[in-house]
Chain A
Amino acid sequence: MPDRAAILAEAARLRGQFEAAGALPVETAVLQPAGTLLDLYGEDIRARAYITSDALRGEQMLRPDFTVPVVQMHMAHGAEPARYTYAGEVFRRQEDDADRANEYIQVGFEIFARDDAARSDAEVFSTFHALLAPLGLQPATGDIGILMAAVDGLETSERRKAALRRHIWRPRRFRALIERFSGRAPVPASRAELLAAKDPMAAAGPMIGLRGPEEVAARIAALREDAAMPPLSENDVALIEALLAVRGASEDALEQLRDIAVDLPAIAPAVTRFAARLEAIGAQGIDAAALPFEASYGRTQMEYYDGFVFGFTAPGRPDLPPVATGGRYDALTRQLGAGREIPAVGGVIRPGLTLELGAAT
Chain B
Amino acid sequence: MSIKLGVPSKGRLMEKTFEWFAGRGITLGRSGSEREYAGFVEGVENVELVLLSAGEIPRELAAGRIQLGVTGTDLIREKLGQWESHVSELAELGFGHADLVLAVPSAWVDVSTLDDLDAAAAAFRAQHGFRLRIATKYHRLTREFLRGAGVADYQLVDSQGATEGTVKNETAEAIADITSTGDTLRANHLKILEDGLMLRSQATLFRARGAELTEADRKTLAELSARLG
Interface of A toward B, CB cutoff 8 Å: 38-39, 42-44, 46-47, 94-98, 163, 166-167, 170, 172-173, 176, 180, 188, 190-191, 194, 200-201, 203-211, 213, 215-216, 218-220, 223
A348 vs chain B, min Cβ distance (A) = 24
Are A176 and B115 closer than 8 Å at their CB atoms? Answer: yes
Q: Is the CB of A173 within 8 A of B109?
A: no
The 6 closest A-B pairs by CB, nearest first: A173-B150, A190-B112, A95-B81, A204-B107, A170-B150, A209-B167
Q: A46-B156, A194-B109 are in contact. Are A209 and B173 (CB under 8 A)?
A: yes
Q: List 8 A–B pairs whose Cβ atoms lie within 8 Å, in order of A's numbering.
A: A43-B131, A43-B143, A44-B143, A97-B82, A201-B109, A211-B132, A219-B119, A220-B110
CA distance A206 to B156 in the complex (A): 24
Q: Is the CB of B109 within 8 A of A220?
A: yes
A216 touches B143 (CB 8 A): no
Contact B168 A209 (CB under 8 A): yes
Known contacts A38-B155, A42-B153, A166-B152; A204 and B82 CB within 8 A of each other? no
A219, B120: Cβ atoms closer than 8 Å: yes
B46 proximal to A (CB < 8 A): no
A44 touches B147 (CB 8 A): yes
B127 at the interface (CB under 8 A from A): yes
- Which A residues are in CB contact (< 8 Å) with B156? 43, 46
Q: Does B108 reach chain A (CB closer than 8 Å)?
A: yes
Closest A residue, CB atoms, query B170? A210
Within 8 A of A (CB), among B81-119: 81-82, 105-110, 112-113, 115-116, 118-119
Smallest distance from the beta carbon of A52 to chain B beta carbons, Å?
15
Most interface-central of A97, A98, A173 (chain B CB within 10 A): A173
Q: Chain B residues near A96 (CB, 8 Å)?
A: 81-82
Residues of B within 8 A of A203 (CB): 109
Q: Name the contact of B194 in the complex, choosing from A163, A188, A207, A209 (C-beta under 8 A).
A: A188
Contact between B81 and A204, CB atoms less than 8 A apart: no
- B16 interface residue per 8 A CB criterion: no
Q: Which listed residue (A44, A207, A220) contacts B105, Cβ 8 A?
A: A207
Total number of B residues with any Cβ neighbor in A under 8 Å: 44
How far is A215 from B167 in the complex, measured between Cα atoms in Å? Answer: 16
Q: A43-B131, A172-B150 are in contact. List 13 more A-B contacts (CB 8 A).
A: A38-B131, A44-B143, A44-B147, A46-B143, A94-B81, A95-B140, A170-B152, A190-B113, A200-B110, A201-B107, A203-B109, A205-B107, A219-B119
In the bound complex, residues from chain B placing their C-beta under 8 Å from that of A170 are: 150, 152
Contact B154 A43 (CB under 8 A): yes
Is B122 close to A, CB under 8 A? yes
Cβ of A216: which chain B residues have Cβ within 8 Å of it? Answer: 107-110
Residue in B closest to A159 when the chains form the complex, CB atoms? B119
Tell me the smallest distance from the CB of B84 to a CB of chain A, in Å: 11
Is the C-beta of B22 less than 8 angstroms from some C-beta in chain A?
no
| Residue contact A204 to B154, C-beta cutoff 8 Å | no
Distance from B122 Cβ to chain A, minimum over Cβ atoms (Å): 6
B128 at the binding interface (Cβ < 8 Å): yes
Q: Does B123 contact A (CB under 8 A)?
A: yes
**How distant is the Cα of A223 from the Cα of B188 in the complex, in angstroms?**
27
Q: Does B124 contact A (CB under 8 A)?
A: yes
User: Does residue B146 face the partner (Cβ distance < 8 Å to A)?
Assistant: yes
Interface digits, B122-148 against A, CB 8 Å rule (1 contact, 0 not)? 111001100110000001100110110
Verify if B189 is at the interface (C-beta below 8 Å from A): yes
Q: State whether B112 touches A188 (Cβ < 8 A).
A: yes
* Min CB–CB distance A204 → chain B (angstroms): 4
Q: A42-B131, A215-B124 are in contact. Are A206 and B189 (CB under 8 A)?
A: yes
CB distance from A186 to the nearest CB of B (A): 12
CB distance from A168 to the nearest CB of B (A): 11
**B123, A215: Cβ atoms under 8 Å?**
yes
Instruction: List, in ascending order, chain A residues with CB within 8 A of B147's CB.
Output: 44, 47
Give Cα A39 to B81, complex, Å: 25
Min CB–CB distance A215 → chain B (angstroms):
6
Contacts A215-B127, A218-B123; A209 near B155 (Cβ below 8 A)? no
Chain A residue at minimum C-beta to C-beta distance from B165: A208
Nearest CB of A to B139, in Å: 8
Which single residue of chain A is at the shortest CB-CB distance from B151? Answer: A173
Query: What distance in Å separates the Cβ of A170 from its nearest Cβ neighbour in chain B?
Result: 4
Q: Nearest chain B CB to A147's CB is how many angstroms away? A: 16
Cα(A201)–Cα(B110), bound, Å? 9
Take A97-B82, A223-B110 as given contacts and tell me if A210 and B173 are in contact as well, using a CB distance cutoff of 8 Å: yes
Closest to B166 in A: A209
Question: Which residue, B107, B167, B168, has most C-beta atoms of chain A within 10 A?
Answer: B107
* Cβ A208 vs Cβ B107 within 8 A: yes
Would you call B143 and A200 a contact (CB within 8 A)? no
Q: For residue B115, which residues in chain A have a CB less than 8 angstroms away from its CB? A: 176, 180, 188
In the bound complex, do residue A190 and residue B194 qualify as a contact, i.e. CB atoms below 8 Å apart?
yes
- The chain B residue with its CB closest to the CB of A180 is B115
**Which residues of chain A are within 8 angstroms of B144 by Cβ–Cβ distance?**
47
Q: A167-B152, A216-B109, A220-B109 are in contact. Are A47 and B140 (CB under 8 A)?
A: yes
Find B108's partner among A98, A167, A176, A211 (CB 8 Å cutoff).
Answer: A211
Taken together as a complex, chains A and B put the C-alpha atoms of A319 and B140 apart, in Å, by 25
